[in-house]
Structure 1
Amino acid sequence: MSESLYPSGRLRMAQRATAAAGLDALLLTPGADLRYLTGYDAHALERLTCLVLPATGDPVLVVPALEEAAAKASPAGGIDLEIRAFPEGDDAYALIRGLLGAGPRRLGLADRMWAEQVLAFRGTFPDAEQVLAGGVLRPLRVRKSAAEVEALRRAGAAIDRVHARMGEWLIAGRTEAAVGRDIADAILEEGHAQVSFVIVGSGPNGASPHHAVSGRVIEDGDPVVVDIGGITAEGYCSDSTRTYVVGDPPEGFATAYAVLFEAQEAGVAAVRPGVTAASVDAACRDVLTAAGYGDAFIHRTGHGIGLEEHEEPWIIGGNETVLEPGMAFSVEPGFYLSGRYGARIEDIVVCGEDGPDRLNVTPRTLTLL
């Protein structure tokens, strides 16, 4: 794992942002924020693991004693960060109270902290206002560093290799579930550490954007939406959708797909610094609407991606967030005709200094298998 993905300077940068937000400290339990700041992919357990990041002073990673070796073996062990272990049975919340004192007035808690931990911290610091730490960390995470972009590019290449093998598995007479098992195996074989999701939506199931897999037998002439993603050992996510047809496409499908292809091309071409997220959504949506498919495009155009599959920025109408270099997100228009079929084309795109940088490069034209 490249240490440059998790530079120690991030902790100090986050401390400055914490102070600027008027918070006394951030308390970050296992999740993407903790990994972003330290490189430690901690297990979420009933025993508390928490990065205590005061606005001033030294940060401390509090871990159960049985997790100490893992924490020190992670990138967190190689940066300027104290790792303090507590013995089995000790009160980790009391330890953190000792680190911060009894007087913090405003604390930023990890956005996805377990409710039982939120309530325990409320009891530990009864006079402190609790707010979401995401408000502090989101602006730091949304612009990817050059090292992060390359990590996302490696993840994109790994999922592209899976799509390139689809002809091995997507065959009439097989069930979606059987194809999905083969795809999941290939996601690991081609360079991911974890499988995040596998969608194989054949025929009418393709009209449900978040269909997973089922026992439906794929038939000759079926369009099949294949949306897949994983997480690499570096912690960065892949996510790419292609639509295939097993045999010859049904009447009208190729024409509709050509419109979708045009819409996705327009959305990617619209990506550049200074435009809004909403304008990228509009670039896709306008093409589909003009061709009569606007009502069949029932979801946003995209979502940010990084250490999480879905994170900011959201590529959706009404989001006036201005795109900046380093922002990474999906561009994935689709159309969904209930009872018939659906289609989606999805690439991960980075907003570059001069325009879009696609991280997925497998063919986007209609693929007949």
Structure 2
Amino acid sequence: MGIYDTRLASLRKLMADSATDLVILGPSTNMLWLTGVDPHGDERPVLTVVSADFAGFLMPALNADMARQHTDLPFFEWADAQGPAEALSALLDAADAKRPGLSIVLDETMRADFALMVLDAMDSPKRRFTADTIGRLRAMKDETEADLLRTCARLNDDAVRHAMTQLKAGMTELDLQAILHDYYKAHGAAPEFTIIGFGANGAFPHHHTGDAVLADDMAVLIDTGCRIGGYPSDMTRSFWFGPNEPEEYKTVRRVVNAAVEAAMDAARPGVKACDVDAAARKVIEDAGYGPRFVHRLGHGLGIDVHETPYITSTAETVLEAGNVFSIEPGIYLTGNFGVRLEEIVILREKGPEIFSGLERVLDL
């Protein structure tokens, strides 16, 4: 049984466990993960429909030949000249999806017009989203996925190490970003994203890398990731450039690192995501910086850089072995500097395994 057959069988088991009659996915990473098909997403409706004993695609004819290279599931094709209505009706008939009151799961990333088209073609379905079906499956990484994520993380480590050796006064944030991106490309990876924050810019968690110039004795924040083998990396390191590191910066970095360690200690299978967030947040609050930790502790990582599970103060998700997520507390002092330290971990039975091998507290 191939990987996509295995995933489809696992999805059907969760559908049975959750009394779900139908799962309907749009062109998305959900479709890619489940079927291996990654069609061009535009205004032409593309769907995957899965029931207990049927799975098939609504597929524009102009995409069909390409998509067939990746799946043996049946296609219900439609051409621009005729529109999708007839093909969609046939697909829903094949899935026995026109019975009243079916319990369906809709891909939350689907275009609204696709979703409404499907709902209008059905008879009073009861709709929810993917969290307890394909979302839960995607959150549980197998060892093949873990190996791909680890490989990408280690390449990211090397890129950041290299970039740090190139730091010099007078360079811009964009210069440092280019060094990272060139390293990724030279080593067979694609840049995924990069946030470089020099000085006070590090106090903006989602700063747009720009023309700020590095000077001696300045805080540096690097949040960056690449993609290789279809999976991304994501890591943040914060450090001081120059010989005169202020005591406040040392204190903040020490507190943030302690918050990472507290979250690591709290993260175990069976623990709620909100309790892991709370463990890190308490360290920062106890140090007097609570209002300066302005975001959730973490997010899942897989095919998408942000996916389930989300590690937030309100997330009741019970963590499971195989979950991959970030632990990234931060303290942001507006007008001065910001410190964020981020690790990507896979949860094992005895606790988190960190993918990165780069020291968390770096000194130049």
Do they fold alike, i.e. is TM over 0.5?
A: yes
Percent of aligned pairs sharing the same letter:
34
1:174 maps to 171
Between 31-40 and 87-96, report the one with greater CA deviation.
Answer: 87-96
**2:342 pairs with 316, 325, 346, which one?**
346
Aligned partner of 2:236 in structure 1 is 241
Change in CA separation of 1:212 and 1:95 when aligned onto 2, cut-off 3 Å: same
Aligned to 2:28: 31
* Mean Cα deviation higher: 314-323 or 325-334: 314-323
Deviation larger for 323-332 or 35-44: 35-44
Confirm whether residue 296 of structure 1 aligns to residue 292 of structure 2: yes
Shift of 1:125: 2.8
Are 2:131 and 1:139 aligned?
no
Q: Deviations over 1:78-99 (max 9, x none)?
A: xx52345434433334212112
Q: Corresponding residue for 2:251?
A: 255
Q: Deviation digits for residues 106-142 of structure 1, max 9, x if unmatched?
A: 3322111111212222333364344323442222222
Structure 1 Cα separation of the partners of residues 85 and 130 of structure 2: 18
Using the TM superposition, name which of 27-36 and 97-106 deviates more.
97-106
Determine the C-alpha separation between the residues in 1 that align with 2:130 and 2:330. Answer: 33
Deviation at residue 280 of structure 1 after TM alignment: 2.0
Aligned to 1:275: 271
Q: Are the counterparts in 2 of residues 330 and 348 from structure 1 also a CA contact under 8 Å?
A: yes
The letter for the 2-side match of 1:313 is: P
8 Å contact from structure 1 (residues 267, 280) kept in 2: yes
Residue in structure 2 matching 1:116, options 113, 116, 120: 113
Aligned partners of 2:173 and 2:211 also within 8 Å: yes
Distance in 2 separating the partners of 1:285 and 1:134 = 25
Moved more, 300-309 or 81-90: 81-90
Per-residue CA distance 1:123-170 (angstroms, 9 max, x = gap):
333643443234422222222122221222122122222212112443
Q: Give me the whole-angstrom Cα distance separating, in 1, the residues matched to 2:189 and 2:13.
A: 34
1:143-201 deviation digits (Å, cap 9, x = unpaired): 212222122212212222221211244322111122223323333333434x3321001
* TM-score, with structure 2 as normaliser: 0.90
Partner residue of 1:165 out of 138, 162, 165: 162
- What is the letter of the counterpart of residue 82 of structure 1? P
Preserved CA contact (<8 Å) 2:57 2:91: no
SS in structure 2 at match of 1:367: coil
Say if 2:184 is the partner of 1:184. no
Contact 2:273 2:319 in 1 (8 A): yes
How has the CA–CA distance of structure 1 residues 359 and 243 changed in structure 2, closer, same or farther, with 3 Å as cutoff?
A: same
Shift in Å at residue 338 of structure 1? 0.6
Q: 1:249 to 1:366 in 2, by over 3 A?
A: farther
Aligned residues: 358
Deviation at 1:9, TM superposition (A): 1.9
1:276 partner amino acid:
K
- Structure-2 change in CA distance of 1:85 and 1:141 (3 Å): same
Offset, 1:354 = 1.7
How far, CA to CA, are the matches of 1:227 and 1:249 in structure 2? 23
How many angstroms does 1:19 deviate by?
A: 4.2
Determine helix, strand or coil for the equivalent of 1:227.
strand
Q: Given the superposition, is the C-alpha separation of residues 126 and 182 from structure 1 closer, same or farther in structure 2, using an over 3 Å criterion?
A: farther
Cα distance, 1:304 vs structure 2: 1.2
1:105 matches 2:97: no
Q: Which runs of 4+ in 1 moved over 6 A?
A: none
1:154 aligns with 2:151: yes
Distance 2:254 2:210 in 1: 28
Spell out, residue by residue over 1:306-345, the C-alpha distance to the aligned partner (whole angstroms, 9 max, x if none). 1221122222224333322101110111111010001111
- Structure 2 stretches of 5 or more lacking a match? none
Q: Deviations over 1:218-257 (max 9, x none)?
A: 22111111101233332x2211101132223542212321
Taking structure 1 as the reference length, the TM-score comes to 0.89
Aligned residue for 2:86? 94
Supply the AA of the counterpart residue of 1:29: G
Which segments of 5 or more consecutive residues in structure 1 lack a partner in the other structure? none
Which of 12, 16, 22 lines up with 1:15 in the alignment?
12
- What code does the residue aligned with 2:163 have? M
Change (3 A) 1:367 1:71: farther
Q: Deviations over 1:48-97 (max 9, x none)?
A: 2211112x3321123222322332333xx3xx523454344333342121
| RMSD, matched Cα | 2.3
2:110 corresponds to which letter in structure 1? M
Written as runs of structure 1 = structure 2, the 5 A alignment for 1:157-236 is: 157-193=154-190, 195-234=191-230, 236=231
Counterpart-to-counterpart distance in 1, 2:244 and 2:208: 22
Q: Assess if the C-alpha contact under 8 Å between 1:161 and 1:190 holds in 2.
A: no
Q: Tell me the SS of whatever aligns to 1:27.
A: strand
